[in-house]
Amino acid sequence: MKNNDSFLNFLGIAKRAGKLVLGEDLVLKAIKKNAVQLVILGSDTGAASAKKINDKSNFYRIPIIDDYDKSQLTMAIGVERTVVAVNDQNFTKRLLELSK
């Protein structure tokens, strides 16, 4: 579990800009449609859900960040979710830079 304020702050900006897909079902559908470039998975996500998201993301070659827990993601985006995905190339690039 990381505490990277700039990553979480930028994730909140992406949410306000409408660049996130929220929730497991919508994220899985977006991955299948190749509509997202990055998945952010809560580090404390249940095993079955985490496996589903990981398998689908790996199959479609979408990077996953799982350095943050559900409470950190909830604080960042203002909605309780265990998984979110980014559907914008520029936001994806910046989030990947901030996650290092």
**How does pLDDT run across 52-85, given as a tens digit for each residue?**
999 999 999 999 999 999 999 999 999 999 999 9
State the pLDDT confidence band at 46, using cuts at 50, 70 and 90. Answer: very high
Using CB atoms within 10 Å of the CB of residue 13, give its burial: 0 to 12 exposed, 13 to 18 middle, 19+ buried: middle
Q: Residue 83's beta-bridge partner residues?
A: 41
CA proximity to 12, closest of 81, 67, 66: 81
The per-residue pLDDT for range 18-31, each reduced to its tens digit, is 999 999 999 999 99
Domains of the chain, start order: 5-98 (3.30.1330.30)
CA dist., res. 86 & res. 71, Å (int): 18
Give the model's pLDDT for residue 24: 94
Sheet holding 83-86, edge to edge: 20-22, 83-86, 38-41, 64-65
Give the model's pLDDT for residue 2: 58
